[in-house]
Chain A
Amino acid sequence: MSLQIYIIRRFLFVIPLLLGITVVSFLIANAVPADPINANLPQNALNDENLVRAFREKWGLDKPLIEQYFTYLGNLLRGDLGVSIKTRQPIVEDIQQFLPATIELATVSIVLGLAMGIGVGVISAVWKNSIADYVARIFVVIGVSFPVFVLALIGLTVLHVQLGLVAGPGRLDFIVRDPPHVTGLFTVDSALAGQWDKFGNAVSHLVLPSLILGSYVAGIIARITRSSLLEVLGMDYIRTARSKGVRERWVIVRHALSNAMIPVVTVIGISYGNLLVGSVLIESIFAWPGIGRYAFRASTSQDFPAIMGVSFLIAFIYVVVNFIVDILYYFLDPRIRVA
């Protein structure tokens, strides 16, 4: 199968998926057992029928559910996610404000997680049942089983407050002004502006949260890498390669690891999606103004356009990441190319 056909096929799967997501996110936002009117209108306005009616009309709540859905879908096709009741800004703008902080943190975390995870996984597979393997496996258990918020609080207390080794909460020291906005990624924006002191400050604030988020990812990736690599290393073609006198390092990296990567890539895709949307706790603890915190506030204040917007965004990110993973398969797994 050629790459083009493969991509088109994958892409065709994505369309019904996204449509299904709009239905689900719409239903979830409408299924919450609280009335958005009570949550969003001041109490004295609740007694004023005209104001309540105006609110219903403004937000389309007076229309039947099915009509509300198609209005939402129509707007969505034009790239309009609606307006948040709470921030009263277009949700697209809210997302532009909050998403870069999350992308920056998630990207650094996944890179750290990958580096740690693959490294540890390879060490523990190659030197199976050695001391290095046992140490690596303890690292994995801690990474996977320790709740991130516990690690975060310990990290903040010990590494930041007591030892002063890493920067604390926030994307920059609170006293430091944001770099000029270009991408919203502070490391990139400060570098573009040549503000290297801010770049350093932004990097130092990324260290602790991304290590913590990364260690969770690293734990999973190390486990998969280890088991997948062990399986591959036991295969005939590896024995053949070795018996032909290929150098051990080459055997592991070129012959074994690249084939062992297929399940790892799957996990990376899912993990990156998880990091983008599931770091509410870390964002909260590190006072990180990201999309997770925005979503939490939207859901606790019955801001249904924002809930729908964020749910759709989250699902969309998952779909895109998995789409990319599917394409990576094409390169990693020759069977797809042949099939």
Chain B
Amino acid sequence: MQKRLLPFLAAVLVLLLIGGGLAAQDEKVLVIGHAEQTDSYDPAHGYTPTTGMVHRATYDTLVTFPDGDASEILPSLATDWTVSEDGTVYTFTLGDEAVFTNGDPVTAEDVVFSVNRLQNVQSNPGFLAGEDRIVSVEAIDEKTVAFTLPDVRPSFLTELTNTAFSITNADVVQANGGTDADDAASTDTARDYLDQTSEGTGPYILESWAPQDETVLVRNQDYWGEAPYFDRVIIVNIPEAATQKAALESGQIDIALDLTPDQIAEMEGNADLGIFSGPGQWTHFLLMNADPEIGGPVSDPTVQLAIRYALDYEGYRELWAGSVTPGTNMAYILAGAFQQDQAFTRDLDMARQLLADAGYPDGFDITLEYPDYTAFGVNMNTNAQKIQADLAEAGINVTLSPGELQVALEAYRTGQEGFGYWFWGPDILDPVDVLSFVPGGKVAAERANWTAEMVDPAVIELIEQAKVATDAEERLDLFNQVQEFLQQNGAFAPFNVPATQRAYRADIEGYVWHPSWELDVALLSRAE
């Protein structure tokens, strides 16, 4: 018995050693560790940071941003464009170089199909192409396409950079059940197909997706732009930040996208690793429902202002390394957003005085609802405890009520939450994004019941002007006025923007974070 056991054990040992050395392959492979969050890779359905990264690699849009920021609009599939005198019709000319993965050239019909399908499938990103935003999209000739908007909207080109506007091969998608008809929400069946492959013009092709396990991209051999360095990109689902860290440190993955600020701090000084750090896009804020029956004391504008004065902004910055205090709910990274030096600072005496003015000299009791969730490395429970402590100093007695994310979202989205803590990232990388938070705006009206009728008509007039201003300087001035109004008034108290921090192996070159699509894998290479 023992004689037979020994050779067996030896064989197992040899196999283990061979197994350990498997990584040596000729292919250039990039492995990304990421907490996957999507239920589709169909551009008309998926709308998360995960899909942004994959769509950026596999599709192109008509226009795009520079590699690392949202400072200007650059040509992509469209080589140039014109805007009609009245500012409502945008006409794009398509370039001749781009071809789909099967060799078909990109035509105006593909653009029409992709945009109409996005609109009519009515899934997560559908609102970007909703009828209130795009009246029609028409092919003028094979290489010319015109969009008609309901009214002047200077942010339109910025919206088109979103990967939801990825241009797909109309013929192939239709052959696989796709439709852009009005009833596409119930008749389109191309989602399963586009979950497993991509029909775009990007530097990579989606090879396979095992949901909650891994996504594999392979290089598009016929890509019309500069060929990317890596032959294959594997995005592995690693939900635990601690596991991502271990896998990165041991070299099993090249990039970790979901590390916490604490973990990043521990990695500083490690010569094997590189760190990307920059201002983030997620604003953490308090919601104070303007409906007195739902919000109770926090529906009072004076109390709302008192709460903005009571928060210890500096404390949150110390809590989360690299974070900043936002000026308003306008995302920190957007042109024209109030920066930290223009942000609110704490004034407890003022907070107490305002509470007394509002009829609460002894404060009041209130429940803070929020999801029991870690948002991109920031544990919301930690912040909630600090909010509780901050407000206690002003005399407000807060009871914390964390809820499971889906359960909490329901109360938030239906406007039933009185006093809540949430976070927000811009859908459109343009100052118009803040209009969700002005009286009557999407978040303000639907979730905080703060409607246009509740404020001075002059404010609504100001907001309307800001929406349509095309002159850059005038636009900036108007948005500044909107932000000044939001600091003094309203249902929201933005208090912290955590930093964006990513870690990668030191031999990875060209790492750039992008606020819209997270990471462009085609820009990366490995030092040799």
The answer to whether A and B belong to the same complex is yes
Q: Which residues of A contact B (CB under 8 A)?
A: 32-35, 38-39, 42-46, 48, 51, 54, 86-88, 97, 153, 156-157, 160-161, 164, 167-170, 173-176, 196-204, 284-287, 289, 293-294, 297, 300-302
Q: Mark B237-263, 1 if CB is under 8 A from A, else 0.
A: 111101100110110110000000000
Work out how many contacts link A and B, with CB atoms closer than 8 A: 142
Do A173 and B252 have beta carbons less than 8 Å apart? Answer: yes
Instruction: Give the residues in chain A near B242, CB-CB below 8 Å.
Output: 153, 156, 285
Given contacts A86-B39, A174-B234, contact A294 B212 (CB under 8 A): yes
Q: Is B365 located at the chain interface by the 8 A CB criterion?
A: no
Given contacts A287-B240, A289-B212, contact A45 B406 (CB under 8 A): no
Do A38 and B413 have beta carbons less than 8 Å apart? Answer: yes
CA distance A39 to B475 in the complex (A): 37
9 A-B pairs closest in CB distance: A200-B19, A200-B15, A201-B19, A289-B213, A42-B124, A156-B246, A34-B407, A287-B238, A39-B406
Instruction: Give the residues in chain A near B250, CB-CB below 8 Å.
Output: 160-161, 164, 168
Shortest CB–CB separation between residue A79 and chain B, in angstroms? 22
Of the residues B18, B126, B410, B413, contact of A197 by C-beta under 8 Å:
B18
Q: Mark B11-35, 1 if CB is under 8 A from A, else 0.
A: 0101111111011010001010000
Task: Name the residue on B nearest A155 (C-beta).
Answer: B246
CA distance A289 to B243 in the complex (A): 14
Q: Which residues of B contact A (CB under 8 A)?
A: 12, 14-20, 22-23, 25, 29, 31, 39, 122-124, 126-127, 130, 185-186, 191-192, 210-214, 234, 236-240, 242-243, 246-247, 249-250, 252-253, 404-407, 409-410, 413-414
Instruction: Give the residues in chain A near B25, CB-CB below 8 Å.
Output: 175
Do A199 and B413 have beta carbons less than 8 Å apart? Answer: no
Chain A contact residues: over half helix, strand or loop, or mixed? helix
Extra contacts besides A174-B247, A200-B14, A286-B243 (5): CB < 8 Å: A42-B124, A168-B252, A170-B252, A203-B12, A300-B405
Given contacts A42-B124, A87-B39, contact A168 B210 (CB under 8 A): no
Do B243 and A287 have beta carbons less than 8 Å apart? Answer: yes
Do B413 and A43 have beta carbons less than 8 Å apart? Answer: yes
Do A203 and B15 have beta carbons less than 8 Å apart? Answer: yes
CA distance A169 to B191 in the complex (A): 31
Do A198 and B240 have beta carbons less than 8 Å apart? Answer: no
Given contacts A54-B186, A169-B238, contact A199 B122 (CB under 8 A): no
Do A297 and B20 have beta carbons less than 8 Å apart? Answer: no
Instruction: Give the residues in chain B near A287, CB-CB below 8 Å.
Output: 236-240, 243, 247
CA distance A174 to B122 in the complex (A): 35
CA distance A38 to B18 in the complex (A): 50
Do A38 and B406 have beta carbons less than 8 Å apart? Answer: yes
Shortest CB–CB separation between residue A59 and chain B, in angstroms? 14
Shortest CB–CB separation between residue B32 and chain A, in angstroms? 9
Do B19 and A284 have beta carbons less than 8 Å apart? Answer: no
Given contacts A196-B15, A287-B236, A287-B238, contact A44 B130 (CB under 8 A): yes
Do B122 and A48 have beta carbons less than 8 Å apart? Answer: yes
Do B211 and A87 have beta carbons less than 8 Å apart? Answer: yes
Task: Name the residue on A nearest B442 (C-beta).
Answer: A43
Do A284 and B407 have beta carbons less than 8 Å apart? Answer: no
CA distance A44 to B185 in the complex (A): 12
Instruction: Give the residues in chain B near A197, CB-CB below 8 Å.
Output: 15, 18-19, 22
CA distance A287 to B242 in the complex (A): 11
Shortest CB–CB separation between residue B509 and chain A, in angstroms? 19
Instruction: Give the residues in chain B near A285, CB-CB below 8 Å.
Output: 240, 242-243
Do A169 and B243 have beta carbons less than 8 Å apart? Answer: yes
Do B413 and A45 have beta carbons less than 8 Å apart? Answer: no
Do A38 and B410 have beta carbons less than 8 Å apart? Answer: yes
Do A45 and B122 have beta carbons less than 8 Å apart? Answer: yes
Instruction: Give the residues in chain B near A32, CB-CB below 8 Å.
Output: 407
CA distance A201 to B239 in the complex (A): 22
CA distance A289 to B242 in the complex (A): 17
Instruction: Give the residues in chain A near B212, CB-CB below 8 Å.
Output: 289, 293-294, 297
Do A198 and B243 have beta carbons less than 8 Å apart? Answer: no
Do A284 and B239 have beta carbons less than 8 Å apart? Answer: yes
Instruction: Give the residues in chain A near B127, CB-CB below 8 Å.
Output: 43-44
Instruction: Give the residues in chain A near B123, CB-CB below 8 Å.
Output: 42, 45
Do B407 and A170 have beta carbons less than 8 Å apart? Answer: no
Task: Name the residue on A nearest B252 (C-beta).
Answer: A168
Instruction: Give the residues in chain B near A173, CB-CB below 8 Å.
Output: 22-23, 252
Instruction: Give the residues in chain B near A202, CB-CB below 8 Å.
Output: 19
Enumerate 7 A-B pairs (CB-CB under 8 Å) in ascending A order. A156-B242, A156-B246, A175-B31, A196-B15, A203-B19, A287-B243, A289-B237
Given contacts A156-B242, A168-B246, A287-B243, contact A174 B19 (CB under 8 A): no
CA distance A173 to B23 in the complex (A): 8
Do A97 and B243 have beta carbons less than 8 Å apart? Answer: no
Task: Name the residue on A nearest B192 (C-beta).
Answer: A88
Task: Name the residue on B nearest A98 (C-beta).
Answer: B212
Shortest CB–CB separation between residue A43 and chain B, in angstroms? 6
